[in-house]
């Protein structure tokens, strides 16, 4: 028997709820749909939840089925007024489009006005990229006087050597890392797995951490952990801890306060392209589903474009 649509469910419930109650119900059911039917990763579900909460804050007593493109455009303006980064605004718009597609499937709305929304192009927000010398300074920032310097140095090396997201590095398990074959297997967005090469320096740092420090951290855990990077209590590091570590060492290295784990991912991609790597290869290593996302970095790497122009343009 086919599952009843949201419209059929609402009709069977009798008197209608107020607009605010219905809107919250739509959003709550959408999150259940993402988790149970789309099988999205938990981090993606949390991101959708946060974005929809902000949508509900703006919505107030407006009725979702009655919203037109002009009103949804006001929502985008409202987001921009809150000083959100262009990439964050774009993510909110994507979440809204997906939400409206769900409402179409459920029969709550017939059209999807969110499809007509536009945002500032992602490439117009230049990602923070470190120079090679800044990367060297950051990777050398952990000192032997630091309590967990072996882990921290290996962590920074892996972030830069692989371009993995902080969440992917936190999720790395010992069996996912093959130092002899010089690669690791990470799980990205939507549970998609990919193989990423490891360089010599990152291999040496990981091996040193595994030999010198990790056994002591394992001994502190209640049960034997299988994650590669462990906290002082023997548990897997989380994204907040990784973010704090990168911030601390960036400050020690005299680098901008705006540096984050994602800055190392940006630097990884930009430096590869500057060295002559192909866009498709970089896309594969980053785990981007759409090559347009990878193309952000072609707008960042002006030095390579200038070099090509000097070498091949007849009037350069």
What does the domain layout of the chain look like in residue ranges? 17-124, 132-302
Confidence (pLDDT) at 303:
56
Q: Which residue has the higher pLDDT, 122 or 282?
A: 282
Do residues 101 and 142 lie in contact, with contact meaning Cβ atoms separated by under 8 Å?
no
If you average pLDDT over residues 293-315, what whole number do you get?
Answer: 58
Confidence (pLDDT) at 16:
40
For 23-56, the pLDDT digits (tens) are 999 999 999 999 988 888 888 999 999 999 999 9
Measure Cα distances from 85 to 40, 42, 249, 314 in Å: 24, 23, 24, 40
Quote the CA–CA distance of 293 and 300 in Å, as a whole number: 12
How many CB atoms sit inside 10 A of residue 215's CB?
Answer: 9
Q: For the structural domain made of 17-124, what CATH number should be given?
A: 1.10.150.130
Average pLDDT, rounded, for the chain: 84
Measure Cα distances from 308 to 142, 209, 270, 303 in Å: 37, 41, 16, 9
Residue 7 has pLDDT above 60, yes or no: no
Quote the CA–CA distance of 60 and 80 in Å, as a whole number: 18
Confidence (pLDDT) at 301:
56
Which of 65-69, 170-174, 293-297 shows the lowest mean pLDDT across its residues?
293-297
Do residues 173 and 227 lie in contact, with contact meaning Cβ atoms separated by under 8 Å?
yes
Q: Which residue has the higher pLDDT, 128 or 5?
A: 128
Confidence (pLDDT) at 294:
79
Confidence (pLDDT) at 221:
92
Which DSSP symbol is given to 316? -
Q: Which residues are catalytic?
A: 165, 189, 262, 265, 288, 297
Assigned token pair, 56: 């509900």
Residue 281 has pLDDT above 50, yes or no: yes
Residue 152 has pLDDT above 90, yes or no: yes
How many CB atoms sit inside 10 A of residue 163's CB?
Answer: 24
If you average pLDDT over residues 248-254, what whole number do you get?
Answer: 94
Confidence (pLDDT) at 250:
94
3-17, 118-132, 181-195, 199-213, range with greatest mean pLDDT: 199-213
Which DSSP symbol is given to 177? E
Q: How many residues does the chain have?
A: 316
Q: Which residues pair with 173 in a beta bridge?
A: 227
For 55-87, the pLDDT digits (tens) are 999 998 899 999 988 788 889 889 888 888 888
pTM for this model (two decimals): 0.62
Confidence (pLDDT) at 117:
76
Measure Cα distances from 98 to 27, 31, 60, 191, 246 in Å: 11, 11, 20, 19, 33
For 76-131, the pLDDT digits (tens) are 889 888 888 888 888 999 999 999 999 998 889 888 888 877 655 443 444 568 88
**3-class DSSP assignment, residue 136:** helix
Which of 146-150, 218-222, 298-302 shows the lowest mean pLDDT across its residues?
298-302
Quote the CA–CA distance of 316 and 309 in Å, as a whole number: 6
Burial (CB count within 10 angstroms: exposed 0-12, middle 13-18, buried 19+), residue 223: exposed
Helices (H), the chain: 6-12, 19-36, 42-59, 69-81, 86-106, 132-139, 149-162, 166-170, 200-212, 214-218, 239-252, 261-274, 279-286, 291-294, 296-300, 302-312
Quote the CA–CA distance of 103 and 67 in Å, as a whole number: 13
pLDDT band at 315 (very low <50, low <70, confident <90, very high): low
pLDDT band at 13 (very low <50, low <70, confident <90, very high): very low
Does CATH place domain 132-302 in 1.20.1250.20? no
DSSP per residue over 179-231, as a string? TTTTEEEEE-GGG-EEEEE--HHHHHHHHHHHHHTHHHHHTTSSS---BSSB-
pLDDT band at 273 (very low <50, low <70, confident <90, very high): confident
Q: Do domains 17-124 and 132-302 have the same CATH topology?
A: no
pLDDT band at 226 (very low <50, low <70, confident <90, very high): very high
| First and final C-alpha spacing in the chain | 70
> By C-alpha distance, which of 13, 48, 16 is closest to 4?
13
- 96, 101, 107, 109: CA torsion to nearest 10: 50
Confidence (pLDDT) at 141:
96
């Amino acid at each position: 028997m086919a599952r009843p649509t949201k419209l059929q469910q609402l009709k069977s419930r009798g008197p209608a709820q107020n607009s605010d109650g219905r809107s919250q119900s739509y959003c709550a059911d959408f999150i259940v749909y993402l988790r149970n039917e789309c099988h999205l990763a938990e981090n993606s579900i949390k991101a959708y939840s946060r974005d929809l909460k902000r949508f509900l804050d703006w919505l107030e007593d407006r009725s979702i089925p009655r919203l037109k493109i002009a009103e949804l455009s006001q929502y985008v303006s409202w987001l921009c007024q809150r000083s959100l980064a262009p990439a964050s605004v774009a993510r909110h718009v994507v979440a809204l489009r997906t939400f409206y597609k769900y409402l179409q499937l459920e029969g709550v709305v017939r059209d999807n006005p969110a499809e007509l929304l536009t945002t500032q192009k992602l490439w117009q927000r230049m990602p923070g990229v470190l120079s090679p010398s800044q990367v060297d300074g950051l990777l050398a920032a952990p000192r032997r006087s630091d309590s967990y310097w072996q882990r921290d140095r290996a962590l920074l090396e892996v972030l830069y050597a692989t371009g993995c997201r902080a969440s992917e590095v936190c999720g790395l398990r010992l069996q996912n890392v093959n130092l002899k074959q010089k690669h690791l297997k990470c799980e990205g967005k939507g549970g998609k797995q990919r193989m990423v090469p490891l360089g010599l320096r990152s291999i040496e740092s990981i091996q040193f951490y595994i030999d010198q420090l990790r056994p002591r951290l394992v001994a502190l855990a209640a049960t034997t952990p299988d994650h590669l990077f462990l906290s002082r209590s023997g548990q897997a590091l989380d994204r907040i801890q990784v973010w704090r570590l990168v911030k601390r060492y960036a400050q020690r290295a005299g680098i901008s306060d705006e540096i984050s784990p994602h800055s190392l991912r940006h630097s990884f991609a930009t430096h590869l392209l500057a060295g002559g790597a192909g866009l498709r290869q970089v896309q594969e290593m980053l785990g981007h589903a759409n090559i347009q996302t990878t193309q952000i970095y072609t707008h960042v790497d002006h030095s390579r474009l200038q070099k090509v122009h000097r070498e091949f343009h007849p009037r350069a």
